[in-house]
Structure 1
């Protein structure tokens, strides 16, 4: 968004008043004086007028590196804190979780205020792939990997489910699935007589967890990342 438009959207300034403030050097972006009205403001930028922070709250798209022991819920649950406790953002109630993770699962979680965007990812019709790093209790052999690729039956289901599998080590695999059945990864591994020791979601669609984010850290998505869905 242009800086002059941003100023008008966050205040009651007219466009001419905003440009006047810019020329006077009263506006900073990330503590740098900006006088160019066409300067592009990014979602993560801090914009100030005479030292006071202002903001325009449009649709928000957030990537979180979820740590173990937190729940994907707006409230703490079962002794586990909410993943929303990680965010220093206003009006957290406007944000929805795009594909929940269990408390013991780490990795990529998306949050947004855009319901249509969320639906495009989570709708069963979208078949949006999710990639997990799975650490198993027991070594997994080639026969079990072939079964996961070809499809296994889960208790309570009428059709087999399958996934793309890549071996990492004797006890680790990458597993990519396009469905979102309850505890699907854990149940698939149980179907080949194994058990998940730890689970980490690395990717949703073509969007990978940013490697610069440590567990518990988050950032806004960039425009090209949002447009992938």
Structure 2
């Protein structure tokens, strides 16, 4: 059970004052009856709440896939730069958060949800959830470079005892060249360190020219989504995330 005004607020209907005005004007019904008081209690799972002719269906958790474009930051709010939540124009973004971060110039798969426990599990180092990236490079990786990356490289992080904190072993697969003729590799890592992919490539004397995440755990980027577009996760995708903590194992 919860107060009606809080329920409506969670849907982004307006401030408490605006909600009271809506109710006063007869814009809200519960189970077909016009509402008299904003502070009435409803059963969000059983009662039918309608605002201006549209039924508001309660969802405890919401899950979205976004194809993040360059120039957008992975944050919930920012006074100057467009955030990933700004792109979810037709959604109630209250309590939503991106699952981890993509650099401002990195494109691709970003999951967004209000399921805090799932976010924690997907980002916890102990779960080692795969993150796969399409990486366009300045030059080809040699066999020796790939061998180093698959074993783990020193990207400058230091443990508490002062020793280098080597990255976990990665998976590297060569791809075709891109339309500019640049070499492409597909890199799978299991951590989420700051600028990790770029720093890993720098550690073997290379440079990332374009970076796109294409998979996180069992969820792959929907290639039908244009940059900046999003969609809700399917029931099957949600089940894969919640049943396996996002792992594709």
TM range (shorter): 0.7 to 0.9
CA deviation digits over 1:136-176, x for unaligned, max 9?
11222221111111111111232321310000136210000
Flag structure 2 segments of 5+ consecutive residues without an equivalent. 1-27, 34-48, 159-163, 178-182, 242-249
Distance 1:178 1:138 in 2: 24
Q: Secondary structure at the match of 1:166?
A: strand
How far off is 1:55 after superposition?
A: 2.1
Distance 1:93 1:138 in 2: 44
Distance 2:236 2:69 in 1: 26
Distance 1:110 1:89 in 2: 17
After superposition, the Cα gap between the structure-2 partners of 1:11 and 1:222, relative to the gap in structure 1 and judged at 3 Å, is farther
Q: Secondary structure at the match of 1:84?
A: helix
Aligned counterparts, 1:1-229, within 5 A: 12-13=30-31, 52-58=53-59, 59-76=61-78, 79-157=80-158, 158-161=164-167, 162-169=169-176, 171-229=183-241
Q: Which runs of 4+ in 1 moved over 3 A?
A: none
Contact 2:133–2:211 (8 Å) recurs in 1? yes
When normalised by structure 1's length, the TM-score is 0.75
How far off is 1:111 after superposition?
A: 0.6
CA deviation digits over 1:40-91, x for unaligned, max 9?
xxxxxxxx97x922221311000000011100112236x5311111112454
Contact 2:68–2:228 (8 Å) recurs in 1? yes
Contact 1:62–1:220 (8 Å) recurs in 2? yes
Number of residue pairs matched by the alignment: 188
When normalised by structure 2's length, the TM-score is 0.69
Flag structure 1 segments of 5+ consecutive residues without an equivalent. 1-9, 18-47
Q: Secondary structure at the match of 1:182?
A: coil
Contact 2:133–2:186 (8 Å) recurs in 1? yes
Contact 2:174–2:184 (8 Å) recurs in 1? yes
Distance 1:182 1:75 in 2: 20
Please provide the CA RMSD for this pair.
2.5
Contact 1:74–1:93 (8 Å) recurs in 2? no
